[in-house]
Structure 1
Amino acid sequence: MIQDIQPMHLYNEYRPVPPDEDSYALYYEDHTVLVKKTEEGIIFPRFREIARLNEEIYEDYIYLFSVDEERYYLVQEINREPLSDFTMENTEIFRYADPQYQAFAGITGYQLRNWYRNHKFCGRCGKMMKRDEKERMLYCEDCRNMEFPKICPAVIIGVTDGNRILMSKYAGRTYKKYALLAGFTEIGETVEQTVAREVMEEVGLKVKNIRYYKSQPWAFTDTLLMGFYCDLDGEDKITLDREELALAEWFEREEIPVEPSRDSLTNEMIIKFKNGEV
């Protein structure tokens, strides 16, 4: 999956040390990121490459994280005219770009960038928020409101019935490939209850033997995904929620029309079942 960058390691502790000229500068605009595309993969600009016309970046930056010894920082406004080798690319590039550790760094930086952008002002009193010096937290000097990065728990659900698994396609989304059922955990419920509720809401089926498989940070949607397999309990007739799904259907292992990819927990769970490992 996208976060599997071993033997390298993401150090997400908040250590707001100043950047040096070799530090990576992550720059985003809307849903795009500044990168150079090469035969070996994507490359982020280093501070030395953009400092000539952007001297203020050594004063206006946000420390993000490190991957091994490499430090990554968010820069928010730059003149990118002299960076002819760099282009703004859609953040979807991180689903497949190499090297994988840079893709994971890029999408994790994008998640943090969105959090900082969306919390400039206090949600309680409207005053400007300030960055804390010791931890990754924003606070309001006026009303003492504190904000931490948002992580939303959600479930990925592999509903199985013997040699069959239930797969679906989303309604009204650009992503058109087969996926598993999924949904966000609501206030007051366990993740196991989320599994049962989402299956009932989306396809009208009951499930049993709910069992945890694995988790994945999914920075594209500020989500911590938790994968579960469960067994059909009773009738297999599907009642489709057409606001959420375009279709849902049962597939025998041998007929699953999905090939392995490296990015998602959903794909890994489908392929595990397809290969008879579940």
Structure 2
Amino acid sequence: MLDLDQPAPDHRQDALHIVFQRGKLVMDMRSREPCILSDTDLAQNRWEVAREHYIGHWSGQACFAVEIQDICDIDAMRYQAGSLYQLLGRVEDGVFALAGRAAQLLDWQRDHRFCGRCGGQMQVADGERAMACGPCKTLLYPRISPCVIMLITRGDEMLLARNARFPRPMYSSLAGFIEAGESAEDTLRREVREEVGVEVGEIEYFGSQSWPFPNQLMLGYFAEYASGEITPDHDEIAEANWYHPDDLPPVPPPSSIAGQLIQYHCRRIQSR
């Protein structure tokens, strides 16, 4: 539903907006798509735009990522300002991806106001998605951080772990950032070894998901257990164990790729 081929319009009339204030997403609690606001919403609420980025066309309408001024009043009877996490499971995947794209573009512009090479002030480049430095001509594009996320299986069982920083009990697959010079497969084996002390054998690619917390691209894999005893590092991983599909602890929702990996493995077991 998101068309990235259409150029930015010459006007904002009838445009759609993903609105943020102080880094929080502004949501219309009366709407089925609470994060998508109209041009009328901005005008009627007299919200002053501090920064904006054209995202693309959503369902045939131009859509912008917008940050409004901190002093703008938000009607608490209709709107709620919160985290992108609040959209998970409440809206379709396409809508969540749209809001995530908006958040990443605004964060990228905010974090690259000055050139890291010469210190000059940067501006949004004409004709492409980049921040441009006038003095030294440096171009900086939106940053994407690739990560691997892997569900380790041992027959029917899955290795699930609780991250030490999770605010509540939640068990998920392992994950880690790809470092410079690594392949995704190298990262997968290294992260599993570092976090839980086991080795994996065959690896099977599953799929990917944009994860805007703040700018990850999650590459999902299945990995077969090969050897070793589970030994959590107790730095990132508080505890880990093998779990059967019939006796799962609290796991991520299917809106996340971690939840999709777990559900897919469970369906494979049930279909045998």
TM exceeding 0.5: yes
Match of 2:52 among 61, 72, 75: 61
The letter of the residue matching 1:241 is: D
Report the counterpart of residue 10 of structure 2 in structure 1: 18
Secondary structure at the counterpart of residue 263 of structure 1: coil
Q: Which has the higher contact order (CA 8 A, sep 6+)?
A: 1
Secondary structure at the counterpart of residue 42 of structure 1: coil
Report the counterpart of residue 101 of structure 2 in structure 1: 108
In 1, the alpha carbon distance for the partners of 2:201 and 2:35 equals 46
Report the counterpart of residue 228 of structure 1 in structure 2: 221
Runs of at least 5 residues in structure 1 that lack an aligned partner in the other structure: 1-8
* TM-score (normalizing by structure 1): 0.86
Runs of at least 5 residues in structure 2 that lack an aligned partner in the other structure: none
1:214 aligns with 2:223: no
Give the number of aligned pairs: 268
Q: 2:148 touches 2:187 (CA, 8 Å); kept in 1? A: yes
Q: 1:170 touches 1:245 (CA, 8 Å); kept in 2? A: yes
Compared CA separation, residues 176 and 41, structure 1 to 2 (3 A): farther
Per-residue CA distance 1:76-130 (angstroms, 9 max, x = gap):
3346437563231222212122355433322221111111111111111111111
Match of 2:40 among 41, 44, 48: 48
Match of 1:70 among 61, 71, 93: 61
Q: Mean alpha-carbon deviation: is it higher for 108-117 or for 28-37?
A: 28-37
In 2, the alpha carbon distance for the partners of 1:266 and 1:139 equals 36
In 2, the alpha carbon distance for the partners of 1:31 and 1:174 equals 21
Give 1 or 2: higher strand fraction: 2
In 2, the alpha carbon distance for the partners of 1:168 and 1:19 equals 50
Report the counterpart of residue 28 of structure 1 in structure 2: 20
Report the counterpart of residue 6 of structure 1 in structure 2: none
In 2, the alpha carbon distance for the partners of 1:262 and 1:113 equals 27
Q: 2:176 touches 2:191 (CA, 8 Å); kept in 1? A: yes
* TM-score (normalizing by structure 2): 0.88
Of all paired residues, the percent bearing the same amino acid is 25
In 1, the alpha carbon distance for the partners of 2:244 and 2:255 equals 24
Q: 1:129 touches 1:141 (CA, 8 Å); kept in 2? A: yes
In 2, the alpha carbon distance for the partners of 1:170 and 1:55 equals 39
Report the counterpart of residue 192 of structure 2 in structure 1: 199
Compared CA separation, residues 18 and 25, structure 1 to 2 (3 A): farther
Report the counterpart of residue 120 of structure 1 in structure 2: 113
Shift of 1:52: 5.6
In 1, the alpha carbon distance for the partners of 2:217 and 2:123 equals 26
In 1, the alpha carbon distance for the partners of 2:183 and 2:32 equals 43
Match of 2:253 among 245, 261, 266: 261
In 1, the alpha carbon distance for the partners of 2:259 and 2:30 equals 27
Superposed CA RMSD: 2.5
Secondary structure at the counterpart of residue 150 of structure 1: coil
